[in-house]
Amino acid sequence: MKEEGKIDSKKRQLLKAAAVGIGAGMVSFIAIERNKLMEVLRPVSLSEIIGFVEAEEGLNKYEKRAREREAEIKKMCRAEADKICLDKGEDSAECSEARNRCEKIVVKATPPKPGTRFVMALDINKCIGCRRCAYACVMENNTDRDIGIEWIHVLEVHRDDLELLNTNIDYGEEAPKKDYVYIPMACMHCDEPSCVYVCPVVATWKEDDGIVVVDYDRCIGCRYCITACPYGARRFNWKKPRVPVLELNPNMHILGNVLRYPHVVEKCIYCIQRTRDGGIPACVEVCPVGARSFGDINDPEGPIRRILEKYGAFVLRPETGNKPMFFYYFGPARTPPRSKEEG
């Protein structure tokens, strides 16, 4: 009996070794085809596996939520307007303006147009660092006025250096300076957005038309995306945001400039409330020197294609692998002109 037991255990060990060998062989077989291995190891999001759940709810989910938010904001706005009217008198200009804005409020949930891909390009030679784009952005997108959230930061960098470390954001009124360039930075709407990869609740994603959006009803305020963004594009509502009714932009989008909750993250959304209806972002519209161009990169006649073909372009921090969809280029002429001999 004992002898048999011994043989048995040996057999068992042999079987075990064989099993381990087969397993190792399979692993190495997969490893030979590296792409296949990468496919296996690639982390997937649950929404990819059970995508149909989201699809069932589909678009009308946002449509419905937009209706609810619209009613909510209108109510809030009317209360504020009543306060102003009590204060300044029923027939003052402020009162009628506030009432007017409240009535105009509409929260849209316009879906992306198939086939479009929005891209922005910026001529660094033209930009004079006036920061009108940042101001227009605040006015357009209903950002909090108390802590002064600005989606666009304009960096003053020396022309010789162009290193994003030696920047100056608070350069005051004296711009443009000689030998300095001004680089406005906001969300780059990357093709491989690291902020989207790290969000633990899928509260931010890239839409089909290339806009990276944030769902303010889903964001849990962990600020992991702020940590992951190599462009410093994301802002956090550190308190309950306050927008004066007299400065309220009534044209809202549920994934864009709708009034935010406290403790949620927000960022540039290429003025989704304008661009999805065929308009251009506020920063492009306001730029006094025409440094910014915005359009559909799939449109062969559009301004973006023309710029890319004529001047070429570069992106900031390409080494992070985020593939930004915001191009910078050095255009043909500087504003203001360099010196006499160069014209």
Under DSSP, is residue 329 helix (H, G, I), strand (E, B) or coil?
A: strand
How many CA atoms lie less than 13 Å away from 122 in the CB half-sphere? 26
Ranges of H-type helices in the chain? 2-32, 34-41, 46-49, 51-57, 60-88, 93-104, 132-141, 194-198, 224-228, 272-275, 282-286, 303-311
Determine the interface stretch with other proteins among 7-15, 72-80, 217-225, 277-285 (rule: CB under 8 A).
Answer: 217-225
Is residue 46 near other proteins by the rule CB under 8 A?
yes
DSSP state at residue 259: P
The residue among 155 and 307 lying less far from other proteins, judged by its C-beta, is 155
Distance CA 30, CA 42 (A): 14
Q: Provide CB contacts within 8 A for 271, sequence distance 6+.
A: 140, 141, 256, 257, 279, 280, 281, 282, 283
Distance CA 154, CA 141 (A): 18
Q: Minimum distance from CB of 79 to other proteins (Å)?
A: 13
Residues contacting other proteins: total by CB under 8 A = 53
Q: Kindly tell me which residue out of 37, 74, 175, 224 binds other proteins, with binding defined by CB under 8 A.
A: 224
Is residue 61 near other proteins by the rule CB under 8 A?
no
Is residue 234 near other proteins by the rule CB under 8 A?
yes
Determine the interface stretch with other proteins among 22-30, 130-138, 218-226, 293-301 (rule: CB under 8 A).
Answer: 218-226
Output the six-digit token pair for 136.
């227009």
Is residue 43 near other proteins by the rule CB under 8 A?
yes
The residue among 201 and 333 lying less far from other proteins, judged by its C-beta, is 201
Closest C-alpha among 256, 221, 198 to residue 62 = 256
Determine the interface stretch with other proteins among 7-15, 24-32, 157-165, 294-302 (rule: CB under 8 A).
Answer: 157-165
Q: Kindly tell me which residue out of 30, 106, 162, 222 binds other proteins, with binding defined by CB under 8 A.
A: 222
Distance CA 117, CA 299 (A): 9
Q: Minimum distance from CB of 227 to other proteins (Å)?
A: 6
- DSSP string computed for 26-62: HHHHHHHSHHHHHHHHS---HHHHTHHHHHHHTTHHH
Is residue 125 near other proteins by the rule CB under 8 A?
no
Put residue 278 in one of left, alpha, beta given phi > 0 → left and psi -120 to 50 → alpha. Answer: left
Determine the interface stretch with other proteins among 4-12, 21-29, 41-49, 270-278 (rule: CB under 8 A).
Answer: 41-49
Contact track, other proteins, 185-204, x by CB under 8 A? x--------x--xxxxxxx-
Is residue 171 near other proteins by the rule CB under 8 A?
no
The residue among 317 and 338 lying less far from other proteins, judged by its C-beta, is 317
Output the six-digit token pair for 326.
């915001």
Determine the interface stretch with other proteins among 106-114, 132-140, 171-179, 214-222 (rule: CB under 8 A).
Answer: 214-222
Residues in contact with other proteins by the rule CB under 8 A: 43-47, 147, 153, 155, 163-167, 169, 185, 194, 197-203, 218-224, 226-232, 234-240, 261-264, 317, 319-322
